[in-house]
Amino acid sequence: MKRNVIQPLLLLRGTSYLLALSLLVFLRRGFGERVAGDLCIACALCWCCYFLRVALGRLTSARNEDVLAFPLLCAMSLLVGYHLATMWRRRGEPAVVHSYATGRPFRYWQYLGCTDLTLQRYVQPSVCFVVALGLSRLGSAVPYWMAAASLTVFVEEQLARFQMRRRVLDVIDGRIDSKLLHGRVEEKLSPSTDSSKAQAPVIEIAERSRARTGKLSDMKARLDPELRGMMDSSDKREGKESA
């Protein structure tokens, strides 16, 4: 039952991703290397939709020619080639772009004075949707594609924002947990103050006894050899008597 639900969701997710990518070709640059195949697939699907519409128009004898579709698809193909060439030139350089990156805005968007995140999340989808509304009077399929793609880009960017926020919170929680665990481990490993106070007198007594024995041995070494022999013999006698 779960597989039957997951498969349509994955199909819908992939379709929305390719639809958004077909619009991002015109809006962004610096795509990741792993997006190269997705760009080609999105462009190919757009061409298939165009030829399918043309074939259906001939079958139904409809003379409604789409003036915007063919030039737009030619421009899309050129831009896809430009993005692929950019990826190829970037291969010998240090990796600074995420392999799954969907690009960053072209430089002409910076004249609006917004950050890249604001442009990607709000400005670009809004501008494309307004342009689609303006082109809707021409009777072309391009405005419908542009409106659907702009809404998809907006939703995708919001989902990416929520996922990034969730990942940041997970990292923060992990660091807090590690600090707490480190503190508990330090408490277990470090000796308590009561045990250290209790061990201190024992250590002092042992050190005093060692110092006394050291002094007696030094004094004994300074005595006359005959006297030292008499003391040793007396010590041996006492040891035998005690045994």
Q: What are phi and psi of 65, to 5 degrees?
A: -80, 135
pLDDT reported for residue 232: 61
Tokens of 168: 């940041």
Provide the whole-model pTM. 0.70
CB atoms within 10 A of CB 56: 10
pLDDT in tens, the chain (243 residues): 555 656 777 888 889 999 999 999 999 999 999 999 999 999 999 999 999 988 887 777 656 667 889 999 999 999 999 999 999 988 877 878 888 999 999 999 989 989 999 999 999 999 999 999 998 888 788 999 999 999 999 999 999 999 999 999 999 999 999 988 988 888 888 866 555 455 445 455 555 555 555 555 665 555 556 655 665 665 555 555 554
Residue 77 near residue 43, CB atoms below 8 Å: yes
Tokens of 81: 């080639």
Residue 34 near residue 103, CB atoms below 8 Å: no
Report how far residue 103's alpha carbon sits from residue 125's, in angstroms, rounded to the nearest whole number: 14
Q: What are phi and psi of 60, to 5 degrees?
A: -90, 5
pLDDT reported for residue 138: 80
Strands 102-105 and 28-31, sheet pairing:
antiparallel
DSSP string of 77-109? HHHHHHHHHHHHHTTTS---S-TT-EEEE-GGG
pLDDT reported for residue 62: 59
Residue 76 near residue 46, CB atoms below 8 Å: yes
H helices, E strands: number in the chain = 8, 2
Residue 72 near residue 132, CB atoms below 8 Å: no
Taken in order 158, 164, 166, 172, the sign of the CA dihedral is negative
Cβ neighbours of residue 8 closer than 8 Å, sequence gap 6 or more: none
pLDDT reported for residue 9: 79
